[in-house]
Chains A and B, each alone.
Chain A
């Protein structure tokens, strides 16, 4: 990222009583970036978001925004706005009054409020329902209103707490695309929290993968997929084969597989994506096996190949009615990515 850093999270930790929820989080978020905090439930992602918004205070560490220390400020003094998971629209106010709320408490003139509310509603295509109450509009529409209510204040940073999780699959895909293009349009930095790795891949400039309160890897979707740093990352984002190998004299061995590496001697762990395992033709590391299981994935099938000695490899193959029998497989040594073992934490 070449753009200047907008938000700087420095050694943030949070515990509730004896329960440590976040540990040693350091993260730089660039101006105009779409960053996704990805993690399973209980990974601490929502807590991190709430610390940035100011609803929780960190046990230790600092947060800076644009050269100003953010974490001692109350939520209403931060130029940060949030789109809540269940939207949290005010039920007693109309759609327009919901959107205008932030401007009203900021004491802007009535004419300015109404023009900006109009613009914001037009941006999310909700002008026609300006006078409706939140209970009278659909979930997707509430989502748009929540977005307009946050963006109308022109925050420097927009936080989104799993805002799409309440929508059904089709609408969710549509909103993913809309959110992304909206973010490009307004140029505001988005920090998006989700547990859905596919959503994270589609929308983000960068993904920060959180696991049990610690950052596992921070990288672009492509890099995190192609060069996962840890076994957990490789498994959480997409499918993978984890190969437990022994390295000796520049050769990694795993059961009957052997390939050249430039690693020191000792045990090593490799991630091999199923799409990089192919039917044998030409150069590569080869192995024979029997088709054990086939799962239909649309354009491709995911096959599980039993290669003997307890080694089972997943591979992607062109979709076909019935894969059976003995096959010979191969992969390129550079596609086996060395990863760090993810230590168990309690």
Chain B
């Protein structure tokens, strides 16, 4: 038996390496070619250069798209949190007829294909005579992502110690004061987590945006549009920048959790979910 285990363990590192290569080789390629003097063609990459970044930073259309996407993502974040937090509270606290139906309906957009959401919103806006613009994309993302906010916050609420809220009421705080002083600070991590997730999802959303787009492009649509004319190295450069920012966001998020929970608990939680 022990011999068999050893024979397996010799191959295990190679297997792991292959999995990592499968996952990350495309990203590494993307990053490497963003510095390649020969553009997107040619192997191996030669003549390291920052030329594509220079071109990128001079490209007004890309920056307009980045700015649009940031606007959309921030606004969608605010909308979905503002509606998602009360929805999660209602699911956790209140008992009302049709609660089961409400829960399923709130979570529906999570599994609904973006094409359906986009198409139905488009038809609604057309009926309402709304001109398509960034605002319609914001509304689209906001509604589609409420379900994300609701699930994240609801999970946080389930872990919350209700005795703390009772203690606050007991000490003379009204329900409203208790919500702001005790509930929200205890939900800080789920709220930040939901916000980051919504931001990221909105930043790279294509399907819903595609139907609701007006004159102004979001970044994914701008990139998609350019790709139809062929891959250019600036695209690699902007993708690399997006990758770096995502990485920073993940690290920040992880650090926050570490500070709040301690390593042991996170490890336990990871094992639990696996």
Asked if A pairs with B, the answer is yes
Binding site for B on A (CB under 8 A): 53-55, 74-76, 80-82, 84-86, 88-92, 101-102, 105-106, 149-150, 153
Closest 4 CB pairs of A and B: A102-B171, A88-B163, A75-B169, A88-B167
- Give Cα A91–Cα B262 distance, bound, in whole angstroms: 14
A101 near B170 with CB under 8 A, answer no
Closest Cβ neighbor of A149 among chain B residues: B171
Interface residues of B toward A: which range? Answer: 10 to 19
Contact (A90, B177) CB under 8 Å given A75-B169, A76-B172, A102-B171: no
Least distance between B175 CB and chain A CB atoms (Å): 8
- Give Cα A84–Cα B168 distance, bound, in whole angstroms: 11
- Give Cα A106–Cα B173 distance, bound, in whole angstroms: 8
Question: Which residues in chain B, 180-216, are within 8 Å of chain A measured between CB atoms?
Answer: 181-182, 185-186, 188
Does B272 have its Cβ within 8 Å of any Cβ on chain A?
no
Across-interface contacts of B163 in A (CB, < 8 A): 84-86, 88
Across-interface contacts of B188 in A (CB, < 8 A): 92
Across-interface contacts of A80 in B (CB, < 8 A): 170
- Give Cα A75–Cα B173 distance, bound, in whole angstroms: 9
24 contacts between A and B (CB under 8 A): A53-B166, A54-B170, A74-B174, A74-B175, A76-B173, A81-B171, A84-B163, A84-B167, A86-B161, A88-B163, A88-B164, A89-B167, A90-B168, A90-B182, A101-B168, A101-B171, A102-B171, A105-B171, A105-B174, A105-B177, A106-B172, A149-B171, A150-B171, A153-B171
Least distance between B216 CB and chain A CB atoms (Å): 41
Across-interface contacts of B170 in A (CB, < 8 A): 53-55, 75-76, 80-82, 150
- Give Cα A304–Cα B170 distance, bound, in whole angstroms: 50
Least distance between A251 CB and chain B CB atoms (Å): 57
Across-interface contacts of A101 in B (CB, < 8 A): 168, 171, 173, 181
Binding site for A on B (CB under 8 A): 161, 163-164, 166-175, 177, 181-182, 185-186, 188
B173 near A74 with CB under 8 A, answer no
Contact (A105, B173) CB under 8 Å given A88-B161, A92-B185: yes
Q: Name which of A92, A106, A153 has the most chain B CB atoms within 10 A of its CB.
A: A92
Across-interface contacts of A91 in B (CB, < 8 A): 164, 186
Across-interface contacts of A150 in B (CB, < 8 A): 170-171
- Give Cα A101–Cα B173 distance, bound, in whole angstroms: 9
Across-interface contacts of A84 in B (CB, < 8 A): 163, 166-167
Across-interface contacts of B186 in A (CB, < 8 A): 91-92
Closest Cβ neighbor of A50 among chain B residues: B166
Across-interface contacts of A75 in B (CB, < 8 A): 166, 169-170
Closest Cβ neighbor of A77 among chain B residues: B172
- Give Cα A102–Cα B182 distance, bound, in whole angstroms: 13
Across-interface contacts of A54 in B (CB, < 8 A): 169-170
Least distance between B25 CB and chain A CB atoms (Å): 43
- Give Cα A85–Cα B175 distance, bound, in whole angstroms: 22
Across-interface contacts of A86 in B (CB, < 8 A): 161, 163
- Give Cα A80–Cα B177 distance, bound, in whole angstroms: 18
